């Protein structure tokens, strides 16, 4: 069916709140430090939720040329910076993998929203006209309309000429995009796939969207402690931004060229809850089904999972839904295995976070340590698992489960394994 | 026995026809759906023509509870899905929930809905953005709503590769079937016709500025002057052939027999574009030779340089004038993520009825376009195998081989 090809991660690049690059990312996670703060990218006065996890970076200092910096939306900039780091980290070049055998799979929930909104504001003269003025249409405006531009930019950055695509399944985009790349290699459509996701949603329209449905936290007076997944006092997620890109590779090729292998992708499954665009049932049934299917593919028993990277958005319904899903799919093991949410530190960057979490899982396997859930001081009594409160732990990490849940009912699970397993 | 993935239901929402029968009869008759934009006043803009799904009233097909929380792109997707399921004779309530998958393509989200809410934000303030903006504007809206409406809990996906998306979604549908799904709703619809949706497209310089519906979109013609934007698309029901036959499917339109996708090299690299490889890859995936192809549904951008490139690729593979080529999208405009899906619907209907639908309005082939373009009237021919080609903005190339069932 899939040719039995095995797929490994050989390169990682990240651009996340708290620092650009995987070194800064991992240090933040291990320190249990939060990168949430009062929104600075625009004036949030008048918004219900005014906190976010923002990235600090200068596109030019990160290596983007003046033209790249101009034409790329912030989401594309984050993606390309991450892609270049991942590509370099993998040690690949155009000779070890021909462009035709190199695929790109990028995820994003909201695409080039910041640019689309900024240009709308100009063309509509501050929202005053429905018939926007085309004389103010900037040269790359169509590139902002279509989110596929994010995949185009990554493909250009890596010289890919194989299958290239953008996956947009809301907040599971980042996991689904990695899953797509994994399948492309299994199916022999490519030998290497540059996969990942990016989102830069910290703009008025996206913040207002989540205000309208009270999905984000109104804890504006304590931004550093605003993201509190699984805590009794949590009251919504903290919006984030960022990107993570990984190099996926046919395991044989990676071994042949002596590449460093972070981990192997051993299972992936996506399901829909067919319930509600934003609501989740407390029983976690469909997420449990995705987990079961991913574990089956990996031929993993619950005991083989040493760490669970939770979706852990910090909304009451998510935290309970997910806790139920873990119990349903992992049985008694759910009460033993450490489960944590890095969204407590880097926020919820919508479609990007799934890939950022895969990066965190790969680094957890690499460093044999698991990141904590920050700000978890008083667990919700209905969330009774080991959520690794406050402090990272050094431990054996051979098998990892990571999950995502998104608007539209998307439920995705992925299983990663230590390369020596 | 070889495993084959077939289409057993088609739901077309096209500017020249709502529903398969209307779409197919209009397409064979050369009836166009391109006209002056009525969704807003196009007077201020250099582009005034579009392919609108005229006479489409979402309220006639969908409950108000759903229409109020969704954009036109999703209205079209939901209606197309229902038509496809009815056509296939599938009642989702009787199917295993985890064995129904949804894989759609989308290119630009819920434009009209999005513009309305962003205007509310910027003219009245953040508290005026409605609760549904978060689920209507994003690219995943249609897949999510389809899954919910029909209780489909299998793999759900959304791919965005602009106009190539309608073909790429089929490949994901095929994968879902391989992995155990019993049926997939796949394809795509788009609706970009709001003032801002149109204005965002103008800087590409590729939209036709003609005000004459008969001369605006002329792919491969010496007077090609860009393309006309359109809305709509198609949703298909895909199943594994044996399963379709076992349940007594009323009809099998055809098989999705081959697929490949490539990407153009970065500008300035000096390397050749990827379309040729995509076509060759799809033929190889289907296990056929160029001589087995009876018709090509071209991407037909209507932009001289792009037309020449595509004609050159077809001439290289099939020989100059070596295969009939058609572009029924001259009657609908380019529908982005919906466009290639609608082309696949037309290709399936072509192999099912063994007739090639025509390209309209083209009168004088451009010098260098050595292709056998099927003009004005349908060509009755033994049509068993069709190739569908699509290119997405930025460098995406995809190709699909459609083959008559029972081969």
Chain centre to alpha carbon of residue A2? 26
Hey, which residues does A370 pair with through a beta bridge? A393
Give the distance from residue A354's alpha carbon to the nearest chain B alpha carbon, in angstroms: 15
Please state the length of chain A.
421
Of A141, A169, A213, the CB nearest to B157: A169
With CB atoms and an 8 Å threshold, state whether B45 touches A134.
yes
With CB atoms and an 8 Å threshold, state whether B157 touches A187.
no
Q: What 8-state DSSP symbol labels residue A298?
A: H
Specify the 3-state DSSP secondary structure of A323: helix
In the predicted model, is pLDDT for residue A2 greater than 80? no
With CB atoms and an 8 Å threshold, state whether A275 touches B262.
no
Q: Are A415 and A362 in contact (CB under 8 A)?
A: no
- Residue B225 backbone dihedrals phi, psi, to 5 degrees: -135, 30
In the predicted model, is pLDDT for residue B406 greater than 90? no
Element at B144 (helix H, strand E): helix B141-150
Tell me the pLDDT of chain A averaged across its residues: 97
Report ipTM for this prediction: 0.98
pLDDT at A3: 52
In the predicted model, is pLDDT for residue A334 greater than 50? yes
Pick from B68, B389, B139: nearest CA to B259: B389
Provide the number of structural domains found in chain B.
Answer: 1
Give the distance from residue A370's alpha carbon to the nearest chain B alpha carbon, in angstroms: 29
The range of the structural domain enclosing residue B315 comes to: 1-401
Strands A102-107 and A51-53: unpaired
User: Does residue B176 belong to any structural domain of this protein?
Assistant: yes
Q: What 8-state DSSP symbol labels residue A42?
A: S
What are the tens digits of pLDDT across the range B378-400?
999 899 999 999 999 999 999 99
What are the tens digits of pLDDT across the range B182-226?
999 999 999 999 999 999 999 999 999 999 999 999 999 999 999
User: Which residues of A are the active-site residues?
Assistant: 171, 311, 348
d(CA B262, CA B257): 18
Residue B365: how many other CB atoms lie within 10 Å: 18
Q: Which residues of B touch A161 (CB under 8 A)?
A: 262-265, 271, 274, 277
Of A47, A146, A176, the CB nearest to B162: A146
C-alpha separations of B35 from A390, B190, B212 in Å: 62, 18, 8
What are the tens digits of pLDDT across the range B324-334?
999 999 999 99
pLDDT at B381: 84
> Same topology for domains A8-256 and A267-417, yes or no?
yes
For range B224-229, the mean pLDDT: 98
Superfamily of domain A267-417 in CATH is Thiolase/Chalcone synthase (3.40.47.10)
User: Was domain A8-256 assigned CATH 4.10.520.10?
Assistant: no
With CB atoms and an 8 Å threshold, state whether A410 touches B140.
yes
Q: Which residues of B touch A276 (CB under 8 A)?
A: 148
Expressed in angstroms, the distance from the first to the final Cα of chain B is 12
d(CA A338, CA A342): 13
Crossing angle, helix A316-330 and helix A285-298, to 10 degrees? 40
User: Does residue B407 belong to any structural domain of this protein?
Assistant: no
Which of the four pLDDT bands, split at 50, 70 and 90, describes residue A4?
A: confident
Angle at B353 between CA B350 and CA B358, to 5 degrees: 45
Pick from B399, B281, B282, B292: nearest CA to B340: B399
Crossing angle, helix A173-186 and helix A353-367, to 10 degrees? 70
- Residue A265 backbone dihedrals phi, psi, to 5 degrees: -85, 120
For range B19-29, the mean pLDDT: 98
In the predicted model, is pLDDT for residue A1 greater than 60? no
For range A48-73, the mean pLDDT: 98
Would you say the C-alpha torsion B129, B130, B134, B139 has a positive or negative sign? negative
C-alpha separations of A119 from A109, A122, B196 in Å: 19, 5, 10
Pick from B167, B190, B216, B164: nearest CA to B331: B216
Would you say the C-alpha torsion B74, B78, B79, B83 has a positive or negative sign? positive
User: Does residue B289 belong to any structural domain of this protein?
Assistant: yes
Residue B127: how many other CB atoms lie within 10 Å: 13
Element at A141 (helix H, strand E): helix A141-145
For range A199-212, the mean pLDDT: 98
Give the distance from residue A369's alpha carbon to the nearest chain B alpha carbon, in angstroms: 32
Secondary structure of chain A: what % helix, strand, coil (to 5)? 35, 20, 40
d(CA B129, CA B157): 27
With CB atoms and an 8 Å threshold, state whether B392 touches A104.
no
Torsion angle defined by CA atoms of residues B26, B31, B36 and B39, in that order, rounded to the nearest 10 degrees: 0
Q: What 8-state DSSP symbol labels residue B334?
A: B
d(CA B136, CA B277): 37
Expressed in angstroms, the distance from the first to the final Cα of chain A is 23
The answer to whether B138 contacts chain A (CB < 8 Å) is yes
Which of the four pLDDT bands, split at 50, 70 and 90, describes residue B1?
A: low
d(CA B103, CA B256): 15
What are the tens digits of pLDDT across the range A81-107?
999 999 999 999 988 999 999 999 999
User: In chain A, where are the structural domains located?
Assistant: 8-256, 267-417
Helix and strand tally (H, E) in chain B?
12, 16
Residue B316: how many other CB atoms lie within 10 Å: 15
User: Does residue B242 belong to any structural domain of this protein?
Assistant: yes
What are the tens digits of pLDDT across the range A164-204?
999 999 999 999 999 999 999 999 999 999 999 999 999 99
Report the CATH number that the domain containing residue B134 is assigned in CATH: 3.40.47.10
| All residues at 6 or more sequence positions from A159 whose CB lies less than 8 Å from its CB, including other chains | A94, A99, A102, B265, B266, B269
Q: What 8-state DSSP symbol labels residue B320?
A: T
Strands A263-272 and B385-392: unpaired
| All residues at 6 or more sequence positions from A341 whose CB lies less than 8 Å from its CB, including other chains | A229, A230, A309, A310, A311, A312, A313, A314, A373, A387
Q: Are B365 and B320 in contact (CB under 8 A)?
A: no
d(CA A389, CA A311): 15
What are the tens digits of pLDDT across the range B108-160?
999 999 999 999 999 999 999 999 999 999 999 999 999 999 999 999 999 99
- Burial class of residue A66, CB neighbours in 10 A (0-12, 13-18, 19+): exposed
Report the chain A residue with the minimal C-alpha distance to residue B398.
Answer: A163
For range A342-367, the mean pLDDT: 98
User: pTM higher than 0.90, yes or no?
Assistant: yes
User: Does residue B406 belong to any structural domain of this protein?
Assistant: no
DSSP string of A143-163, one letter each residue:
HHHSTTHHHHHHHHHHT--S-
Report the chain B residue with the minimal C-alpha distance to residue A180.
Answer: B172
């Amino acid at each position: 069916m899939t040719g039995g090809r095995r797929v490994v991660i050989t390169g990682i690049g990240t651009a996340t709140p708290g620092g650009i690059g995987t070194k800064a990312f991992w240090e933040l996670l291990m320190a249990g430090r939060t990168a949430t703060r009062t929104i600075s990218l625009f004036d949030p006065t008048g918004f219900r939720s005014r906190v976010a996890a923002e990235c600090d970076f200068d596109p030019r200092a990160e290596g983007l040329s003046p033209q790249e910096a101009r034409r790329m939306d912030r989401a594309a900039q984050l993606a390309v910076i991450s892609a270049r780091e991942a590509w370099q980290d993998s040690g690949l070049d155009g000779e070890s993998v021909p462009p035709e055998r190199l695929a790109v799979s990028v995820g994003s929930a909201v695409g080039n929203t910041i640019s689309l909104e900024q240009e709308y504001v100009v063309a509509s003269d501050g929202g005053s006209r429905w018939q926007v003025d085309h004389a103010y249409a900037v040269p790359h405006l169509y590139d902002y309309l279509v989110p596929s531009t994010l995949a185009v930019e990554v493909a250009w950055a890596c010289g890919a000429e194989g299958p290239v695509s953008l996956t947009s399944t809301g907040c599971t985009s980042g996991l689904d995009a990695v899953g797509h790349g994994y399948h492309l290699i299994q199916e022999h459509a490519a030998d290497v796939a540059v996969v990942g996701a990016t989102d830069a949603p910290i703009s008025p329209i996206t913040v207002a969207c989540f205000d309208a449905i009270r999905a984000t936290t109104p804890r504006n007076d304590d931004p550093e402690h605003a993201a509190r997944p699984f805590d009794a006092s949590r009251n919504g997620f903290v919006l984030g931004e960022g990107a993570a890109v990984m190099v996926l590779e046919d395991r044989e090729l990676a071994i042949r060229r002596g590449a460093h292998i972070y981990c192997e992708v051993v299972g992936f499954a996506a399901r829909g809850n067919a319930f509600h665009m934003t609501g989740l049932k407390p029983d976690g049934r469909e997420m449990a089904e995705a987990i079961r299917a991913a574990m089956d593919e990996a031929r993993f028993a619950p005991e083989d999972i040493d760490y669970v990277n939770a979706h852990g958005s910090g909304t009451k319904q998510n935290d309970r839904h997910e806790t139920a899903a873990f119990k349903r799919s992992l049985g008694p093991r759910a009460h033993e295995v450490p489960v944590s949410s890095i969204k407590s530190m880097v926020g919820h960057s919508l479609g990007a976070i799934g890939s950022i979490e895969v990066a965190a899982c790969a680094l957890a396997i690499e460093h044999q340590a698991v990141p904590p859930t920050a700000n978890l001081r008083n667990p919700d009594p209905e969330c009774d698992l080991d959520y690794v409160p406050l402090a990272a732990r050094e431990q054996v990490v051979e098998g990892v489960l990571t999950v995502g849940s998104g608007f539209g009912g998307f439920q995705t699970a992925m299983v990663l394994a230590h390369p020596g397993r | 026995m070889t495993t084959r993935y077939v289409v057993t239901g088609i739901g077309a929402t096209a500017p020249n026809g709502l529903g398969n029968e209307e779409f197919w009869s209009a397409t064979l008759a050369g009836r166009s759906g391109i006209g002056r934009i009525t969704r807003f006043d196009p007077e201020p803009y250099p582009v005034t023509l579009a392919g609108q799904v005229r006479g489409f009233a979402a309220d006639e097909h969908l409950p108000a509870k759903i229409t109020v929380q969704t954009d036109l792109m999703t209205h079209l997707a939901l209606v197309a899905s229902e038509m496809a399921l009815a056509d296939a004779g599938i009642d989702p309530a009787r199917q295993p929930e985890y064995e129904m998958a949804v894989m759609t393509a989308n290119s630009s989200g819920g434009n009209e809905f999005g513009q309305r809410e962003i205007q509310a934000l910027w003219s009245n303030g953040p508290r005026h953005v409605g609760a549904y903006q978060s689920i209507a504007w994003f690219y995943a809206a249609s897949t999510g709503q389809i899954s919910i409406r029909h209780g489909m809990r299998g793999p759900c996906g959304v791919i965005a590769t602009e106009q190539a998306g309608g073909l790429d979604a089929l490949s994901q549908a095929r994968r879902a079937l391989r992995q155990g799904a019993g049926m997939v709703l796949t394809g795509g619809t788009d609706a970009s016709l709001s003032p801002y949706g149109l204005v965002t497209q103008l800087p590409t310089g590729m939209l036709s500025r003609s005000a004459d519906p008969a001369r605006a979109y002329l792919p491969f013609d010496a007077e090609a002057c860009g393309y006309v934007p359109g809305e709509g698309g198609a949703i298909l029901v895909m199943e594994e052939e044996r399963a379709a036959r076992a349940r007594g499917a009323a009809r099998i339109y055809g098989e999705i027999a081959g697929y490949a996708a490539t990407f153009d090299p970065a500008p300035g690299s000096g390397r050749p574009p990827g379309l040729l490889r995509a076509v060759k890859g799809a033929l190889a995936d289907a296990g056929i030779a160029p001589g087995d192809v009876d018709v090509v549904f071209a991407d037909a951008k209507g932009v001289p340089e792009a037309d020449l490139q595509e004609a050159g690729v077809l001439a290289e593979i099939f020989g100059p004038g070596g295969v009939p080529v058609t572009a029924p999208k001259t009657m609908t405009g380019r529908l982005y993520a919906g466009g290639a899906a609608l082309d696949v619907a037309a290709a399936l209907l072509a192999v099912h009825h063994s007739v090639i639908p025509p390209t309209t309005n083209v009168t004088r082939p451009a010098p260098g376009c050595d292709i056998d373009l099927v003009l004005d009237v349908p060509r009755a021919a033994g049509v068993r195998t069709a190739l569908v080609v699509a290119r997405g903005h930025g460098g995406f190339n995809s190709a699909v081989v459609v083959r008559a069932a029972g081969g």
